[in-house]
Chains A and B, each alone.
Chain A
Amino acid sequence: MHLNFENSEEKLIVYMSGELDHHSAEEVRNMIDDRLDRDNYNKLIMDFAGVSFMDSSGIGVVIGRYRKLHMRSGKVCVTNIKSSVKRVFELSGMFKIIMSYDNVEQAVNNI
């Protein structure tokens, strides 16, 4: 799993690429949390354009970041969700609390 970070309007954008499973989840979680804490962000955009595989470990990673930022009155959203990733997220009912946008630009303008 490879992560690229960007800052736009005080919002942290993380571009993920590779496979998000139990093995990669811990590293992804730690790297994102380090950035969130270091620069004290309260808005996070997680971009899934490069995620070629995801199992339910991905739900844990997104919900975990939601919980973390919710305590700072912040927000998490996801972007570029393709059908295989979407089907896993839909099973969890996650979209009731976490917004999904077609692309990063839309997310930056809306959260």
Chain B
Amino acid sequence: MFHNRVKIEFLSKSQNESFARVAVAAFAAQLDPTIDEISDVKTAVSEAVTNAIIHGYNSEEEMITIEAIIDGTELTVIISDSGQGIDNLEVAMQPLYTSRPDLERSGMGFTVMEAFMDSLEVKSDKGTGTSIIMKKIFNPLS
């Protein structure tokens, strides 16, 4: 089975949101994705990185890590921060919930990640950070 892996680290600046999603999309390109599949991955990565910047680090500048792994036709993306962690994961993952209504956030981040990827797992510990593990299976062109 084909296997490949990359690891990227960058500062939690909002300018890097676009860098992060394009970098993951470029890595995923070797799976011969459709335009819709690539758009799904870019959107999900953008949501996770935005969460790390706004909520994880509360807009302070620290490092965000992205690991992307290809196993056969499956892409795994792990987006990690060492920020403040999520208080109540169940509440945070509810559609339309936002801890920052002052920022005009829609509260749809986790909902978008769940809808656009095939699986989503969130690991978070108060004070040590959050990891988002998302997987997507690409349908091979036939």
Contact = CB atoms under 8 A, between A and B. Distances in A.
A5 interface: no
A63 B106 CA distance: 8
B111 A91 contact: yes
Interface stretch (A35-43, A50-58, A70-78): A50-58
Given A60-B104, A91-B111, A84 B47 contact: no
A22 B50 contact: yes
Given A22-B50, A91-B111, A84 B106 contact: no
A41 to B, nearest CB: 19
Interface residues of B, number: 26
A23 interface: yes
B82 to A, nearest CB: 20
13 contacts: A21-B14, A22-B50, A23-B15, A23-B18, A25-B104, A54-B43, A55-B50, A56-B109, A56-B111, A57-B106, A83-B36, A87-B115, A88-B43
Contacts of B111: 56, 91
Contacts of A19: 18
B18 to A, nearest CB: 6
Secondary structure type dominating chain A contacts: helix
Q: Which of A19, A29, A57 has the most CB of B within 10 A?
A: A57
B50 to A, nearest CB: 4
B106 A23 contact: no
Interface string A59-92: 1110110000000000000000001100110011
Given A22-B53, A53-B46, 11 more contacts: A22-B17, A22-B50, A53-B21, A55-B43, A56-B105, A56-B106, A56-B112, A64-B104, A84-B39, A87-B116, A88-B43
B108 interface: yes
A25 B115 CA distance: 22
Contacts of B50: 21-22, 55, 57
Interface string B9-33: 0000011011001000000000000
A59 B108 contact: yes
Interface string B64-103: 0000000000000000000000000000000110000001
A91 B116 CA distance: 10
Q: Which of A22, A83, A91 has the most CB of B within 10 A?
A: A22
